[in-house]
């Protein structure tokens, strides 16, 4: 009745990693960046432009994601990975893998070149997955380009997922978590078409509950955009966090 029986859906190690991750991101980017960000939702309010999968529509989508994540659009290049092997000739950094990547980030760390965010062509027809992919790759731009983390950081990829939650794009990356499989190839990172991202749904559920708790949101309406599983994990995590705060 009072939430004292609330059970945390994540393991203790997962909980500690998320809590520590929020602390690390607060030190890297500033806590106010999390407190002040908009919770980006799949609505016309946040994405009012007509989307038809065209190059101009994708550009509009990318500009908005850049704005929400506070990345200057002029400081990053956008590319589309074609459904052929020609991309290897255009971008030598890309190497063919058994799982075709849905998104890639590379460059921008030397020689004054701009970082490149690349999106698999097929995702142009799926705006929700496109937003999740672009948000994750822009997370690389923020963490790696800002020299907050390095490629050698052990949990760099999960932290890149967590920064999307920290900056208000977690609805998209969390909902996409079941749909794709992670892809990693040397210093080029991205996703294959089986699972998007690196964090499992249950960890996203706790991370989103932690995010809401940090912002003082008790019953956020934006959870209505989460998948059924995520809503369950969010509610369980939120109840546990509420109980935990009462016991302090």
Query: What are the tens digits of pLDDT across the range 131-142?
Result: 998 999 999 899
Query: What are the tens digits of pLDDT across the range 96-127?
Result: 232 344 556 555 555 667 888 888 888 888 99
Query: What are the tens digits of pLDDT across the range 19-62?
Result: 999 999 999 999 999 999 999 999 999 999 999 999 999 999 99
Can you tell me whether residue 222 is helix, strand or coil? helix
Which sequence spans correspond to the domains of the chain? 30-199
Number of Cβ within a 10 Å radius of residue 13: 8
Q: How far apart are CA 230 and CA 223, in angstroms?
A: 9
Identify the DSSP state of 141.
I
> Taking all residues of the chain, what is their mean pLDDT, rounded to a whole number?
82
Q: Are strands 77-81 and 116-120 parallel, antiparallel or unpaired?
A: parallel
Higher pLDDT, 217 or 99: 217
Q: How far apart are CA 204 and CA 10, in angstroms?
A: 10
Confidence of residue 196 (pLDDT cuts 50, 70, 90): low
pLDDT of residue 149: 87
Rounded to 5 degrees, φ, ψ at 184 are -150, 135
pTM of the model: 0.83
Confidence of residue 171 (pLDDT cuts 50, 70, 90): very high
């Amino acid at each position: 009745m009072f939430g004292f029986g609330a059970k945390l859906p994540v393991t203790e190690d997962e909980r500690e990693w998320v809590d520590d991750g929020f602390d690390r991101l607060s030190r890297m980017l500033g806590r106010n960046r999390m407190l002040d960000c908009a919770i980006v939702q799949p609505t016309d309010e946040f994405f009012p432009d007509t989307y038809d999968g065209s190059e101009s529509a994708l550009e509009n989508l990318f500009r908005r994601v850049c704005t929400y994540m506070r990345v200057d659009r002029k400081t990053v290049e956008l590319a589309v990975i074609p459904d052929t092997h020609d991309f290897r000739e255009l971008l030598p950094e890309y190497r063919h893998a058994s799982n075709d990547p849905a998104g890639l980030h590379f460059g921008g760390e030397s020689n004054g070149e701009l970082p490149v965010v690349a999106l698999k062509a097929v995702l142009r027809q799926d705006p929700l997955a496109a937003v999740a992919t672009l948000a994750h790759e822009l997370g690389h731009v923020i963490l790696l380009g800002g020299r907050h983390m390095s490629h050698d950081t052990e949990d760099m990829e999960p932290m890149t997922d967590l920064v999307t939650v920290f900056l208000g794009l977690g609805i998209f990356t969390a909902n996409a978590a079941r749909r794709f499989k992670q892809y990693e190839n040397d210093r080029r990172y991205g996703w294959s078409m089986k699972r998007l991202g690196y964090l499992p749904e249950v960890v996203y559920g706790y991370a989103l509950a932690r995010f809401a708790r940090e912002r003082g949101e008790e019953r956020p309406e934006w959870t209505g955009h989460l998948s059924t599983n995520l809503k369950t994990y969010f509610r369980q995590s939120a109840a546990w966090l509420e109980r935990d705060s009462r016991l302090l």
